[in-house]
């Protein structure tokens, strides 16, 4: 991601066949330590919107992540992405799983080290 200023960000991801896909999103809402929301700008290759909410849960933080998207070429585009292993849902779940493991291991080492 590249900060373009004014609450706008350029996102770049690898497409299903390895080519770079880029688009711009605008923040639609932001509350420090509580929430970040965005929406892709008109004409984006990958029309999307999302929100991340942060909340207290015991001694830790709960993160609620929502992401909605419309793949290029509709269901045919989704099938192509699935075939090449580039489905955003699958990749996002894997990335979030790795992030969770990293954060948990960091917290464990901080509290036991």
Question: What domains are defined for the chain?
Answer: 2-112 (3.30.530.20)
pLDDT greater at residue 110 or residue 21: 21
Give the mean pLDDT of 40-68: 87
> How far is the CA of 56 from the CAs of 29, 59, 69, 101, 109, in angstroms?
20, 7, 28, 19, 21
Question: For the whole model, what pTM was predicted?
Answer: 0.67
Distance CA 10, CA 24 (A): 4
The percent of residues above 70 in pLDDT, for the chain, comes to: 72
The percent of residues above 90 in pLDDT, for the chain, comes to: 27
């Amino acid at each position: 991601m590249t900060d373009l200023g004014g609450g706008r960000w350029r996102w770049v991801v690898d497409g299903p066949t390895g080519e770079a896909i880029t688009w711009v999103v605008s923040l639609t809402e932001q509350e420090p330590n509580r929430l970040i929301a965005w929406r892709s700008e008109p004409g984006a290759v990958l029309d999307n919107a999302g929100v991340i909410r942060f909340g207290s849960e015991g001694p830790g933080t709960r993160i609620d992540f929502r992401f909605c998207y419309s793949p290029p070429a509709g269901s045919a585009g989704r099938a192509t992405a699935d075939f090449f292993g580039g489905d955003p849902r699958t990749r996002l779940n894997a990335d979030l799983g790795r992030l969770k493991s990293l954060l948990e291991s960091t917290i464990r080492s901080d509290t036991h080290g």
